[in-house]
Structures are given as structure tokens and as C-alpha cells.
Amino acid sequence: MFRQRIIMKGLLVEKLQLDVQEHGPRAVAARRKRLADSERQRRMLTDVQQRLRLRHLSVDADLSPDRVASCCTRLLHNSVALADLMDGVSLRISYINQVAADGSYVSIAWDFEV
């Protein structure tokens, strides 16, 4: 019984090592890409916040990075026209356009049109 456990653990370790050798480089590459994409999105959000002089900028957690980037690109493209209107506003990139009931923030749909 004890010997069987040792053999089973040995086989499991061997299988794990083979899986890491086979899939490890792809996993590392995927993680690096995700980190780079996350950093690119962070920089873009910071740029939007600064150019529009927003008090606060947030994003709905379930929005895809592509949708956030699309929205940020439009905001930056229209930043000259929007800056005076958005100065000091707390903005949230979301799925819908709305103003919070207490007026504390404005939500803008990620696919908004100017």
C-alpha cells in the first residue's frame, strides 16, 4: 500500500513535469501578454483621466479590455471638445448612459457616440 502511494506520487510528479515542459512556455507567454495588456489599459485610463480632467475614472469589472480600449480611444479622440464638460466629473465606463441617483458619478456606455 505504502509502496503503491510512492509509485503513484512519482508518476504524478513525472506527469506534472512533462505538462510544465510542454505547456509552460505558452502559459508564461500568455501571462506576459495579459500583464502587458493590463499595463496598456492602465496607461490609457490615466491618459483619459488627465486629458478630460476627471476627478475619478472607473470601469465596470465585466467590460472586456477591447471595449474599454474602444471607449478610451473615442474619449481621447474627442478630448478637446469634452474636456470643459467633463472637468471634475467622476466618470464610469459602463454598458449604459446614466447619472447616479445621488449625482456622485456619470456612467457612459462603452460604445457611446458623440
The per-residue pLDDT for range 77-113, each reduced to its tens digit, is 999 999 999 999 999 999 999 999 999 999 999 999 9
| Model confidence at 27: pLDDT above 70 | yes
Residue 109: C-alpha distances to residues 19, 61, 96, 112, 114 (Å): 43, 13, 4, 5, 11
8 — pLDDT class (breaks 50, 70, 90): low
pLDDT of amino acid 15: 74
Helix (H, G, I), strand (E, B) or coil at 1: coil
> Is residue 43 within 8 Å of residue 36, measured between CB atoms?
no
Model's pTM, two decimal places? 0.74
